[in-house]
């Protein structure tokens, strides 16, 4: 069974192939492009209070949504290039974080694991 994530990966692969863009799609370039997109995302929140950041105007929210999509799509392409299963990687990372941040030591705290 093909997942939605797999479908996106294949669509993106075909999209790049049709445009002969694969020559530019190296892991290095994708990691750099993601940082640029992350900066564009952060720009929408710069100087906002926490409350304001949770209640964005509709137009800003749409811009944020599209920046998030850019980051997500680049991440999918990077994973495709490196043959990384993002779902497995995410599940593995959650497991590692659960070990680093046991509930009894980290609940309600924003302390880094090595300072708990």
Residues 98/75, Cβ–Cβ less than 8 Å: no
- CATH fourth-level superfamily of 4-84: MazG-like (1.10.287.1080)
By the 8 A CB rule, do 77 and 32 touch?
Answer: no
In tens, the pLDDT along 31-72 reads 999 999 999 999 999 999 999 999 999 999 999 999 999 999
pLDDT at 84 over 90: yes
Q: Where are the domains of the chain?
A: 4-84, 86-116
pLDDT band at 1 (very low <50, low <70, confident <90, very high): low
């Amino acid at each position: 069974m093909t997942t939605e994530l797999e479908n996106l990966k294949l669509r993106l692969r075909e999209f790049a192939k049709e445009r002969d863009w694969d020559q530019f799609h190296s892991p290095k370039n994708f990691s750099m492009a993601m940082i640029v997109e992350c900066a564009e995302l952060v720009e929408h929140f710069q100087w906002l209070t926490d409350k304001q950041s949770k209640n964005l105007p509709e137009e800003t929210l749409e811009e944020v949504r599209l920046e998030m999509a850019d980051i997500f799509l680049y991440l999918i392409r990077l994973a495709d290039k490196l043959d990384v299963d993002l779902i497995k990687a995410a599940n593995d990372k959650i497991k590692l974080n659960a070990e680093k941040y046991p509930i009894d030591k980290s609940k309600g705290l924003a302390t880094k694991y090595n300072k708990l």
